[in-house]
Amino acid sequence: MATTPKKPVARLEVKKTYKLYINGAFPRSESGRVYEILTSKGVSVANPSLASRKDLRDAVVAARAAQSGWAKATAYNRGQILYRIAEMLEGRAEQLATEISLATGVSSKKAHDEVLAAIDRWVWMAGWSDKLSAAFGATNPVSGPYYNFTIPEPQGVIAVAPAESFLAFIDAIAPAIVSGNTVVALVPGSAAIAAMTFAEVLATSDLPAGVVNILTGSHDELAPWAASHMDIDGFDISGISKKKRADLKVAGAENLKRIHHFEGALSPTRIYAFMETKTVWHPIGV
């Protein structure tokens, strides 16, 4: 590209440094690495952090620490926070649409629609928090003087590796956290910019620190570490190509991680996939 001398403008735009989102804070990658996102015309959009496996380790620590508190919050409270995310996102819709369009090259109309869809997903998901027991629980008529019930509970810390789009990222984290899991999201390539702006939404939505942690960079680099991490309970690998899934599942077998991938519309099955059911027995007597 030929260089043309730049002239000073009346007011220079202040650009954002895209960092990571771990434990409610915005650190740079401990590795100091960044990668460049270019427009289709080759213009530099941003230099997001290229997260390392040590960042992953830190994110898992944050997610683990936040998990029991998040799970203990009432379902009503979790639902309100998820709805708050939708509210905050609505206010950032323009900015996110612009960023998505710039980073991915889709039309601004398409980018806008994607953000609106994401907002509606959060509203839909917010309503699930206090219906999961009704949908996935049961009282079981056992043959004997026992009260027996089954309730769904969050699994713990879930890693998600969504495809390279903002909506795919939302579709991975929302069903994981609504039940009380905490998340470490591995956001690939050009999705990083919108994801990190979304982190600012999370930071202002009363979501406790560590419930969602966002690492930007490369699936190839981070996913194997997530798959083998013994303190991660589940892994949503929807954004991983079919031929690369097997290796992750092999690594994940070491702690029998729940590894799933999803296609098609968001459904409650995706919430349930990262829950465990607990069945409780108690005698009935005087």
Partner 1 sequence: MSFYGIVDGSESSLKHFLAQLPGVDQVGAEARAAMLATRSIKTSSKRWAIDTAISMVDLTTLEGADTAGKVRALCSKAVRPDPTDSTVPSVGAVCVYNDMVAIARTHLDSIGGEHVPVAAVSTAFPSGRASMEVKIQDTQDAIDSGAAEIDMVIDRGAFLSGQFGLVFDEIVKIREVCGDRAHLKVIFETGELVTYDNVRKASYLAMLAGADFIKTSTGKVAPAATPPVVLVMLEAVRDFYSMTNHRIGVKPAGGIRNTKDAIKQLVLVNETAGPEWLTPELFRIGASALLNDLLMQRMKMDDGYYASPNYVTID
Partner 2 sequence: MTFEYAPAPESRSIVDIKAKYGHFIDGKFVAGKNHFATINPATEEVLSQIALGGASDVDKAVAAAQKAYTRTWSKLSGKERGKYLYRIARILQERAREFAVLETLDNGKPIRETRDIDIPLVAAHFFYHAGWADKLDYAGLGKSPQPHGVAGQIIPWNFPLLMLAWKVAPALATGNTVVLKPAETTSLTALLFAQVCQEAELPDGVVNIVTGDGRTGSAIVNHPGIHKIAFTGSTEVGKKIARAIAGTEKKATLELGGKGANVVFDDAPIDEAVEGIVNGIFFNQGHVCCAGSRLILQEGIADEFIEKLKVRMAKIRVGDPLDKNTDLGAINSREQLLKIQELAGVGDSEGAERWSPACTLSDKGFWFAPTIFTGVTQAHRIAREEIFGPILSILTFRTPQEAIEKANNTPFGLSAGVWSEKGSRILWATQQLRAGVVWANTFNKFDPASPFGGYKESGWGREGGKHGLSAYLKEGK
Contact positions toward partner 2, by CB under 8 A? Answer: 135-136, 138, 140-144, 146, 148, 150, 155, 233, 245-250, 252-256, 258, 269, 276-283
DSSP 195-251: HHHHHHHHHTTTPPTTSEEEEEE-HHHHHHHHHH-TT--EEE-TTS-HHHHHHHHHH
Residue 3 phi, psi (nearest 5): -95, 130
Residue 187 exposed, middle or buried by CB count within 10 Å (0-12, 13-18, 19+): buried
Candidate residues 42, 141, 145, 264; the one interacting with partner 1 per rule CB under 8 A: 145
Any contact of residue 141 with partner 1 (CB under 8 A)? no
Any contact of residue 285 with partner 1 (CB under 8 A)? yes
Please state the closest distance from residue 285 (CB atom) to partner 1, in A: 3
| Nearest CB to partner 1, comparing residues 5 and 283 | 283
**Total site size for partner 1, rule CB under 8 A:** 7
| Token duo for residue 83 | 């709805």
Residues 75, 153: Cα–Cα separation, whole Å: 11
| Nearest CB to partner 1, comparing residues 135 and 280 | 280
Any contact of residue 246 with partner 1 (CB under 8 A)? no
Any contact of residue 272 with partner 1 (CB under 8 A)? no
Residues 1, 103: Cα–Cα separation, whole Å: 19
Residues 205, 142: Cα–Cα separation, whole Å: 43
Which of partner 2, partner 1, none lies near 277, with the C-beta cut-off 5 to 8 A by kind?
partner 2
Residues 189, 171: Cα–Cα separation, whole Å: 17
Please state the closest distance from residue 142 (CB atom) to partner 1, in A: 12
Which of partner 1, partner 2, none lies near 254, with the C-beta cut-off 5 to 8 A by kind?
partner 2
| Nearest CB to partner 2, comparing residues 79 and 180 | 180
Please state the closest distance from residue 189 (CB atom) to partner 2, in A: 25
| Nearest CB to partner 1, comparing residues 145 and 264 | 145
H/E stretch holding 269 reads helix 268-272
Please state the closest distance from residue 196 (CB atom) to partner 2, in A: 32
Q: In 46-131, which residue ranges form alpha helices assigned H by DSSP?
A: 53-72, 75-91, 93-104, 108-128
Which of partner 1, partner 2, none lies near 141, with the C-beta cut-off 5 to 8 A by kind?
partner 2
Contacting residues toward partner 1, per CB under 8 A: 144-146, 283-286
